[in-house]
Homo-oligomer: A and B are copies of this chain.
Amino acid sequence: MKTCEKIVHASLELFNTKGERRITTNHIAAHLGISPGNLYYHFKNKEDIIRSIFSLYETHLHAGFQPYENKAVDVELLVGYFDTMFDILWRFRFMYTNLTYILSSDEALLQRYLQVQQLALDRSSNILGQLKRDGLLHIDDDKVMPLADTMRMVACFWIGYKQTHSSSIAITKTCLYEGLLRVIMIFKAHATPTSIATFNRLEEHYQTLAQPQSCQASELSVQL
């Protein structure tokens, strides 16, 4: 791996485990066994490293959330959607730990964040819209986007929220699954008699995963 990539990955790793605030550029260099000068040869500054991590984040988002327009929206698609969400939340959890903090110090990054989030919002709005059209979601037309947005908001801030509940820094996968269950709960409140069973299955699926012991199961394919 190139030094450049090594820096990005080591930074992500350190940020995720120790928190972005506590990690200085010197820490990163020391962790990799390279000199601070070398780090600054590859990156203009710390912000620049975070931007590179953000590029990685964008790549994951785009790869994970392919357009669904042509597919039918069924449980498997939703599970796929939530699994991708989980994966990204987990991989970049340091960002979600303190989104406001990280974005507030870099205007350019904020713009990129807004763009990528708009995309995600559009896609999830589309899915909700389709569910509504299929009679699977009971909701006013003008509330589709707000619902999608609320679900996104809960997903994005769940990690930060959980961190206001204990002094330990560690974020567990279990804690992330609890967040997904909350998103599903908001979602399910709009279920129709036709779709309630589907929502229940979705919920049960993540309830199983939210058990501490099933952390390792998160990569397994899902059989509903």
Contacts and interface: CB of A to CB of B under 8 A. Distances in A.
A119 to B, nearest CB: 15
B185 A143 contact: yes
A153 B157 contact: yes
A164 B98 contact: no
Majority DSSP secondary structure for residues of A touching B: helix
A97 interface: yes
A157 B150 contact: no
Number of copies: 4
A113 interface: yes
Nearest to A26: B41
Contacts of A153: 154, 157-158, 161, 182
Interface stretch (A53-61, A82-90, A101-109): A101-109
Interface in A86-143: 97-101, 103-104, 107, 110, 113-114, 117, 143
A150 B160 contact: no
A186 interface: yes
Contacts of A165: 114
Contact of A100 (B103, B150, B164, B190): B164
Given A100-B101, A153-B161, 20 more contacts: A19-B104, A98-B98, A98-B100, A98-B101, A99-B160, A100-B160, A100-B161, A100-B164, A101-B101, A103-B164, A104-B163, A113-B164, A114-B164, A114-B165, A117-B164, A153-B157, A153-B182, A157-B157, A186-B186, A189-B190
